[in-house]
């Protein structure tokens, strides 16, 4: 059903341009009265040496029989100035689209672009012994949605939670625990207690700077394999993961790998040795670096003057390990925008090492989650905990459902699906590069452009089908007038675009492309339902309209699933 492609093929033959150029030139008019597609002829004026309106008329005259012969369902061609406007045959298109959605079900929109190849996705990656804050939400939900979208394109995503489980902060935490902590308090409430100790360390260190030295000493012990330090580190890690997993479970997110920073401790020598062997490692003010002058970038630090390795060394080791393990076609790093330079440096170092696959490594940056317009800080205790936000959202939904639909079955499950969905969707409907200001009011509003609105629309479509006693039927026949009118056509054209939207969201690594689309589809469907009598007296007309409702429900459910949301059948 790629009508745009078929129309572009016919235009390309008539105007003697390549298919890619014609496809780019084809536009979708903002006003439906101007057709479903439009082709501007201004660009042809130079080569054909005619006025664009004359060219448009000539091309249209040749296209009419060509389109008919090729079986492209165009009901009308109009020349308006320099534009050729194409009006699709609404009956034929509606029949094709609804048939495709009902036949393919949740597979509608799937495309074999990846051939099953692996794509590693570095996402979430919270710091051990610190709370899972709203600041971590973005990497988690964007990364998970991208994994789902790429899976739809027949890639095999490898979801990697590159945990922040190494570094000087663990030395500080060990010091804080030994001075002010208790095993009982940590076991009872792991993350809040470890956070309290972490914050207390920084407060006390202002008056007692020697604490910083003690923190560094304990981290050195940890690096050297001290049994006491290792035991505490492992315990902090296990307790933290147990807590994190509750949040991941609530959000329906699973990982294929939990290898964090510590996993690469014994894999960094390989990087240093290889860089030395390839003559890429040079000394700079006592440190060992890889120069990147030719890319107008500062040098990439590999080893500090005291011999300690850095984040870049670790990320290089991780990239080599992942390529060896997964043979990835692409590697994505869903990490905040402030790390842009770091990843540019890492990718260029890998290229200089001679690894061609480095060209398929992509940093997927995103804006910050702000509180009162400012970045959140764990160290200063200015943090909003994600599990608290999720629980508050669930509690709010519970109140609404208890009031509006107290007889609803599986109330607890549905309130969880809608509450969690509200938080995820609030993030993913925004272009990922935009900063998002944390706001209870905006996040938990269940009207307008929200997850609950889309979920409710899906539930409403299912309710219509249940009440009508609809029986699944993939044989679509459209009686005259069954789906005429702008409201029906708006839904049909959006369903037609579903595969294109998914591909674009995957290509651009931007789930908001799909987020905006399902809002549009939900709004178009509600307008259709408000203006068209679905349960018509004529049985054939009623059946056709119910099939459009069923197709919409399928697309909404699959769109929500790709973004990481559930789609309750009742609300």
- Report yes or no on 423 lying in a domain: yes
Residue 201's beta-bridge partner residues?
none
| Predicted confidence band of residue 163 (pLDDT cuts 50, 70, 90) | very high
Please provide the average confidence, as pLDDT, over all residues in the chain. Answer: 93
Determine contact, residues 86/7, Cβ cutoff 8 Å.
yes
Q: Which residue has the tokens 């200015």?
A: 382
Backbone angles phi, psi at 445, to 5 degrees: -85, 130
Last residue of a domain, one of 375, 405, 430: 375
| Residue 11: per-residue pLDDT | 96
**Separation of alpha carbons 381 and 198, rounded Å:** 9
The residue-averaged pLDDT of 444-452 equals 82
| Predicted confidence band of residue 530 (pLDDT cuts 50, 70, 90) | very high
Note whether 403 and 514 are same-domain residues.
yes
Backbone angles phi, psi at 117, to 5 degrees: -65, 150
| Residue 462: per-residue pLDDT | 98
Note whether 476 and 448 are same-domain residues.
yes
| Predicted confidence band of residue 305 (pLDDT cuts 50, 70, 90) | confident
DSSP state of 133: B
| Nearest alpha carbon to residue 468 among 568, 549, 551, 552 | 549
The residue-averaged pLDDT of 467-481 equals 92
**Separation of alpha carbons 228 and 468, rounded Å:** 68
Note whether 335 and 435 are same-domain residues.
no
Residue 281's beta-bridge partner residues?
290
Residue 466: Cβ within 10 Å count: 11
- Report yes or no on 127 lying in a domain: yes
Which conformational region is residue 307 in: left (phi greater than 0), alpha (psi within -120 to 50 degrees), or beta? Answer: left
Pairing state between β 330-333 and 361-363 = parallel
- Report yes or no on 292 lying in a domain: no
| Predicted confidence band of residue 29 (pLDDT cuts 50, 70, 90) | very high
For 135, half-sphere exposure in the C-beta direction (CA atoms, 13 angstrom radius) is 20
| Predicted confidence band of residue 308 (pLDDT cuts 50, 70, 90) | low
The residue-averaged pLDDT of 432-454 equals 83
pLDDT tens digits, one per residue of 36-65: 999 999 999 988 899 999 999 999 999 999
Tell how many helices (H) and how many strands (E) occur in the chain.
21, 13
| Residue 441: per-residue pLDDT | 74
Note whether 219 and 338 are same-domain residues.
yes
Note whether 469 and 355 are same-domain residues.
no
- Report yes or no on 136 lying in a domain: yes
Residue 352 has pLDDT above 90, yes or no: yes
| Nearest alpha carbon to residue 494 among 463, 518, 468 | 518
| Nearest alpha carbon to residue 250 among 378, 388, 373, 115 | 388
Residue 380 has pLDDT above 60, yes or no: no
Percent of the chain with pLDDT over 90: 82
Q: Tally the domains of the chain.
A: 3
- Report yes or no on 21 lying in a domain: yes
- Report yes or no on 445 lying in a domain: yes
- Token digits for 406? 């107290």
Give whole-number Cα distances, 536 to 162, 246, 545, in Å: 55, 48, 8
Residue 458's beta-bridge partner residues?
none
Note whether 258 and 369 are same-domain residues.
yes
pLDDT tens digits, one per residue of 58-96: 999 999 999 999 999 999 999 999 999 999 999 999 999
**Separation of alpha carbons 137 and 139, rounded Å:** 6
Burial label, 238 (beta-carbon count in 10 A; 0-12, 13-18, 19+):
exposed
- Token digits for 31? 């006003």
- CATH number of the domain at 482, please: 1.10.730.10
**Separation of alpha carbons 106 and 457, rounded Å:** 17
| Nearest alpha carbon to residue 546 among 463, 486, 480, 487 | 463
Note whether 130 and 209 are same-domain residues.
yes
Beta strands in 199-260 (DSSP E): none
Which residues have CB under 8 Å from 288's CB, separation 6+? 272, 281, 282, 301, 302, 303
- Report yes or no on 300 lying in a domain: no
Note whether 191 and 316 are same-domain residues.
yes
| Residue 379: per-residue pLDDT | 55
| Residue 558: per-residue pLDDT | 98
| Predicted confidence band of residue 387 (pLDDT cuts 50, 70, 90) | confident
Secondary structure, 3-state, 93-121 = HHHHHHHHHHHHHHHCCCCCCCCCCEEEE
The residue-averaged pLDDT of 96-117 equals 97
| Residue 381: per-residue pLDDT | 55
**Separation of alpha carbons 83 and 88, rounded Å:** 16
Distance of CA 120 to the CA centre of its chain: 14
Note whether 410 and 548 are same-domain residues.
yes
Note whether 341 and 490 are same-domain residues.
no
pLDDT tens digits, one per residue of 203-230: 999 999 999 999 999 999 998 999 999 9
- CATH number of the domain at 13, please: 3.30.1360.70
| Predicted confidence band of residue 448 (pLDDT cuts 50, 70, 90) | confident
Least-confidence region, from 332-341, 423-432, 435-444, 481-490: 435-444
Last residue of a domain, one of 49, 66, 88: 88
Question: Domain of 488?
Answer: 386-563
| Predicted confidence band of residue 372 (pLDDT cuts 50, 70, 90) | confident
Note whether 334 and 247 are same-domain residues.
yes
| Residue 444: per-residue pLDDT | 67
The residue-averaged pLDDT of 171-197 equals 93
| Predicted confidence band of residue 459 (pLDDT cuts 50, 70, 90) | very high
pLDDT tens digits, one per residue of 320-348: 999 999 999 999 999 999 999 999 999 99
User: In 3-state terms, what secondary structure has residue 81?
Assistant: coil
Burial label, 116 (beta-carbon count in 10 A; 0-12, 13-18, 19+):
exposed
**Separation of alpha carbons 99 and 97, rounded Å:** 5
Last residue of a domain, one of 329, 350, 375: 375
| Nearest alpha carbon to residue 60 among 33, 87, 93, 91 | 87
pLDDT tens digits, one per residue of 476-524: 999 988 998 999 999 999 999 999 999 999 999 999 999 999 999 999 9
Distance of CA 350 to the CA centre of its chain: 26
- Token digits for 62? 């040749």
**Separation of alpha carbons 358 and 352, rounded Å:** 9
- CATH number of the domain at 362, please: 3.40.50.620
The residue-averaged pLDDT of 98-102 equals 97
Residue 170 has pLDDT above 70, yes or no: yes
Note whether 360 and 394 are same-domain residues.
no
| Residue 371: per-residue pLDDT | 76
- Report yes or no on 217 lying in a domain: yes
């Amino acid at each position: 059903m790629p009508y745009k492609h078929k129309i572009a093929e016919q235009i390309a033959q008539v105007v003697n341009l390549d298919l890619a150029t014609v496809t780019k030139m084809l536009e979708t008019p903002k006003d439906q009265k101007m057709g479903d597609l439009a082709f501007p002829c201004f660009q042809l004026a130079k080569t054909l040496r005619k006025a664009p309106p004359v060219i448009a008329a000539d091309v249209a005259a040749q296209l009419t029989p060509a389109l008919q012969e090729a079986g492209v369902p165009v009901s009308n061609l109009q020349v308006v100035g320099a534009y050729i406007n194409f009006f699709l045959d609404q009956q034929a298109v509606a029949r094709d689209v609804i048939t495709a959605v009902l036949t393919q079900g949740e597979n509608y929109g799937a495309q074999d672009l990846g051939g099953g190849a692996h794509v590693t996705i570095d996402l979430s990656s919270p710091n051990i012994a610190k709370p899972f804050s709203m600041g971590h939400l973005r990497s988690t939900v964007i990364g998970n949605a991208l994994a789902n979208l790429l899976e739809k394109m027949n890639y095999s995503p490898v979801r990697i939670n590159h945990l922040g489980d190494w570094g000087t902060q663990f030395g500080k935490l060990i010091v804080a625990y030994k001075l002010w902590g208790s095993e009982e308090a940590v076991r009872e409430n792991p993350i809040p207690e470890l956070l309290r100790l972490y914050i207390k360390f920084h407060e006390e260190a202002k008056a007692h700077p020697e604490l910083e030295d003690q923190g560094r000493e304990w981290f050195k012990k940890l690096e050297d394999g001290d049994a006491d330090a290792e035991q505490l580190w492992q315990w902090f890690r296990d307790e933290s993961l147990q807590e994190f997993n509750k949040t991941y479970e609530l959000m329906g997110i699973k990982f294929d790998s939990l290898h964090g920073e510590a996993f690469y401790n014994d894999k960094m020598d390989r990087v240093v040795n290889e860089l030395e062997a390839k003559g890429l490692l040079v000394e700079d003010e006592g440190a060992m670096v890889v120069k990147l002058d030719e890319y107008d970038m500062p040098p990439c630090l590999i080893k500090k003057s005291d011999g300690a390795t850095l984040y870049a060394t670790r990320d290089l080791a991780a990239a080599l390990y992942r390529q060896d393990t997964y043979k990835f076609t692409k590697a994505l790093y869903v990490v905040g925008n402030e790390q842009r330079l770091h990843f540019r440096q890492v990718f260029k170092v890998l290229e200089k090492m001679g690894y061609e696959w480095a060209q398929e490594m992509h940093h997927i940056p995103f804006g910050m989650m702000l509180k009162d317009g400012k970045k959140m800080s764990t160290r200063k205790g200015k943090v909003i905990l994600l599990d608290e936000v999720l629980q508050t959202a669930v509690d709010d939904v519970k109140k609404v459902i208890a009031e509006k639909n107290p007889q609803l079955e599986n109330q607890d499950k549905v309130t969880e699906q809608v509450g969690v969905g509200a938080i995820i969707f609030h993030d993913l409907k925004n272009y990922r590069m935009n900063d998002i200001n944390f706001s209870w009011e905006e996040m938990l509003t269940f009207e307008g452009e929200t997850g609950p609105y889309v979920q409710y629309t899906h539930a409403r479509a299912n309710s219509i089908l249940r009440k009508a006693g609809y029986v699944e039927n993939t044989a679509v026949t459209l009686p005259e007038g069954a789906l005429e009118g702008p409201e029906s056509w708006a839904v049909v054209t959006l369903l037609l675009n579903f595969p294109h939207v998914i591909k674009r969201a995957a290509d651009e690594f931007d789930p908001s492309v799909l987020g905006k689309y399902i809002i549009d589809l939900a709004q178009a469907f509600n307008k259709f339902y408000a203006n068209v009598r679905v349960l018509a007296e004529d049985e054939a007309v009623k059946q056709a309209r119910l099939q459009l409702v069923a197709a919409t429900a399928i697309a909404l459910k699959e769109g929500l699933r790709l973004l990481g949301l559930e789609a309750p059948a009742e609300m």
